[in-house]
């Protein structure tokens, strides 16, 4: 009888421990993209959309050559089998609630202005981005 109680107690503690681990899993994804490579841009957007589809809060920071993806004149190649480009996948993220930003240094160091950014994209506030990245519930993805 004592063995049965011990096993039952162990099972309860194991289950409680497993629930605590699941509760501590990151619930947010921060995707930082700098690459100008069209395949890398596209795959980053695919993975970000997948994370969002699985219930993650997604935030995207576009820097360097990747920030051009956030402009009205982006002309990235259509990728198969999705038959879409990286910007179209980015717009899907925006339309589903993702926060998308360009690096704070992108606009001041290019010929682009805020008016050149697609709807839903804003310049990042480095202090705000840093605070978000420090959140233990954030999983970080970069390429």
Residue 1 domain-assigned (yes or no): no
89: domain CATH number is 3.40.1260.10
Structural domain contains residue 81:
yes
The strand pair at 138-142 and 121-123 is best described as unpaired
Is 0.75 surpassed by the pTM of this model? Answer: yes
Question: Does the residue 20 lie in any domain?
Answer: no
54 belongs to a structural domain: yes
pLDDT at 9: 42
pLDDT at 18: 42
Our count of domains for the chain comes to 1
pLDDT in tens, 20-64: 445 567 899 999 999 999 999 999 999 999 999 999 999 999 999
In a domain, residue 38? The reply is: yes
Domain of 74?
26-142
**How confident is the model over 55-105, as pLDDT tens digits?**
999 999 999 999 999 999 999 999 999 999 999 999 999 999 999 999 999
Q: What is the pLDDT of residue 26?
A: 81
For residue 25, what pLDDT is reported? 76
| Helix, strand, or coil (residue 84) | strand
Residue 5 domain flag: no
For residue 73, how many other CB atoms are within 10 A of its CB? 8
List phi, psi (to 5°) of 135: -65, 125
- What is residue 23's predicted lDDT score, i.e. its pLDDT? 53
**Phi/psi at 75 (5° precision):** -135, 65
133 within some domain: yes
In this structure, is residue 15 part of a structural domain? no
3-state class of 139 per DSSP? strand
**Three-class secondary structure of residue 59 per DSSP:** strand
CB 40 within 8 A of CB 76: no
DSSP secondary structure code for residue 118 in this structure = P
List C-alpha distances in Å: 66 to 10, 22, 27, 94, 108.
51, 34, 25, 16, 16
């Amino acid at each position: 009888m004592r063995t049965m109680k011990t096993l039952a107690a162990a099972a309860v503690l194991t289950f409680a421990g497993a629930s605590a681990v699941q509760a501590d899993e990151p619930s947010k994804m921060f995707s930082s993209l700098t690459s100008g490579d069209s395949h890398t841009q596209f795959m980053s957007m695919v993975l970000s959309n997948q994370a969002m589809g699985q219930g993650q809060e997604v935030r995207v920071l576009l820097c360097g050559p990747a920030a051009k993806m956030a402009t009205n004149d982006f002309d990235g190649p259509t990728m198969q089998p999705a038959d879409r480009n990286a910007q179209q996948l980015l717009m899907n993220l925006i339309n589903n609630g993702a926060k998308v930003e360009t690096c704070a240094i992108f606009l001041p160091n290019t010929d682009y202005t805020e008016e050149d950014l697609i709807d839903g994209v804003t310049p990042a506030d480095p202090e705000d981005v840093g605070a978000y990245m420090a959140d233990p519930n954030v999983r970080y993805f970069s390429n």
